[in-house]
Amino acid sequence: MRTLIDIVEMQSMADGLRKQGNRIGFVPTMGFFHEGHLSLMRKAKELSDVVVVSLFVNPAQFGPGEDFEEYPRDEERDSMLAMKNGCDVLFVPGVEGMYPKGYATYVQVNDLSTVLCGASRPGHFQGVTTVVTKLFNIVKPHVAIFGQKDAQQAIIIRRIAEDLNYGVDIVIAPIVRESDGLAMSSRNMYLNRKERAEAVVLHQSLLEAEKLIAAGERRAHVIREAMKSLITAKDSARIDYVSILDADTLQPLDLLQGRILIALAVRFGKARLIDNTIMTC
């Protein structure tokens, strides 16, 4: 595995790989790898000849007062895990390289970016779409893998890839969970013992929603209330949103029909956790 920090060097390596007929698979990350990230790398390996993983904690997607400074980092451990899970090139650009003095260009996806996490984290998705656009221009992948845990991000990335004619296949890989159901996230490390135990309710509330739907319930407010009452029964949980939406347009639904996304964001102490499920009704 090679580690590159220089943007121009990464671009010329990508050009060379393409010229030799290689298919480039790309996994963009902010590091502090867990099994969720590693599963994306293994998926990329299945789908391509050369796997590039980027490791960049992107300041543009953190709002004022968010956890940019504290976001967990461990490049040495990440590098070892990436190597063992199929990564051929680890790309670790610096903030000064990605956003040099005078940087002024941002990519904004309308509508999809202002609901759910976009409503509570203004500017977050503009930061994501900007950095993903830059990374695509640097790594020049044929296929890029994202996780379903960030469901809204996945929908937005598909949108920019289509709208801006990236020519990159976007693959969304399933959520990876701990044995008790908690979705894996780098932010789980902020949880204290009580919060960690209570955070399992996120997955439990999604299972409850699935159970109600399987039993024939189609009224969104009934399902949302059932989920909320499970979550608010936990001392440390503070709901940001529990939403039921069309899985493609992110329009809120009153009655469930078609492909639906049930998404939630809940704070446990310092950690703001998200989870979701997609179903067809």
**Binding residues for ligand PAF (CB under 6 A):** 28-30, 58, 61, 128, 131-132, 150, 153
User: Which is nearer to ligand PAF, 59 or 217 (by Cβ)?
Assistant: 59
Examine the residue annotation and report whether 124 is marked as an active-site residue of this protein: no
Q: Report which DSSP code applies to 66.
A: S
Q: Least distance to ligand PAF from the beta carbon of 192, Å? A: 24
User: Which is nearer to ligand PAF, 185 or 277 (by Cβ)?
Assistant: 185
User: Which is nearer to ligand PAF, 99 or 226 (by Cβ)?
Assistant: 99
Instruction: Give the active site residue among 37, 124, 142, 203.
Output: 37
Q: Least distance to ligand PAF from the beta carbon of 153, Å? A: 6
Q: What is the CA radius of gyration of the chain?
A: 19
Q: Least distance to ligand PAF from the beta carbon of 157, Å? A: 7
User: Which is nearer to ligand PAF, 14 or 55 (by Cβ)?
Assistant: 55
Can you state the angle between helices 151-163 and 124-139, rounded to 10 degrees?
50
- Residues paired with 85 in a beta bridge: none
User: Which is nearer to ligand PAF, 29 or 113 (by Cβ)?
Assistant: 29
Q: Least distance to ligand PAF from the beta carbon of 180, Å? A: 23
Q: Identify the burial level of 17 via C-beta atoms within 10 angstroms of its C-beta, where 0-12 means exposed, 13-18 middle and 19 or more buried.
A: buried
Say which residues have a Cβ less than 8 Å from residue 56's Cβ, sequence separation at least 6: 28, 29, 30, 31, 91, 92, 93, 98, 131, 135
The one-letter amino acid code at 263 reads A
How many other CB atoms sit within 10 Å of the CB of residue 29? 21
Strands 89-91 and 2-4 come out as parallel
Look up residue 126 and give its two tokens: 């503009």
Q: Least distance to ligand PAF from the beta carbon of 127, Å? A: 7
Give the residue numbers marked as catalytic: 37
